[in-house]
Amino acid sequence: MLVRVSLIITFFLFLGSCRKKEDKKQQEHPVPYVPVDFTLYPGDPLNFKIQSIGGWQYFGGGINGIIIYRKSQQEFVAIERTSSHLPDNPDAKVKVQSDNFTLRDTISGSKWQIVDGTVTNGPAQWALRIYGTSFDGNALRVRN
């Protein structure tokens, strides 16, 4: 009987901890969702900045624009320029810093990594919004 009660209590504790993790995942990102779906061609002379690994370039789209960063020959990252710390302030636009690795919000001073949008220095607590990318060797599609 005691074993059965212990198992039931353990089950409900486990169920409660799973629900907390699921609720946390469901929290909405502070940067609003906007539909993004466009294709660009890295080989195009207009996109010369993203033709080599480590290159980046600003593009239109999203809320305040998108930064495309080339991680490898076949992998790109598309990062929303809207600050996750001040998403309602259009002046808090994320810019690539001179080290070509750090992104900085022009108002709060928050910093993120260009390779994945993770916070490196607050006050921001959220990563930047990332859009999905797929590259077939010719065309780069960016979408969410």
Q: What is the pLDDT of residues 17-29, one digit of tens each?
A: 444 443 443 358 9
32 domain-assigned: no
CATH code, domain carrying 90: 2.102.10.10
50 domain-assigned: yes
The residue range of the domain holding 95 is: 37-143
110 domain-assigned: yes
3-class DSSP string for 95-143: EECCCCCEEEECCCCCEEECCCCCEEECCCCCCCCEEEEEECCCCEEEE
pTM of the predicted model, to two decimals?
0.79
Q: What is the pLDDT of residues 45-65, one digit of tens each?
A: 999 999 999 999 999 999 999
> What is the spatial distance between Cα 3 and Cα 7, in angstroms, rounded to a whole number?
6
27 domain-assigned: no
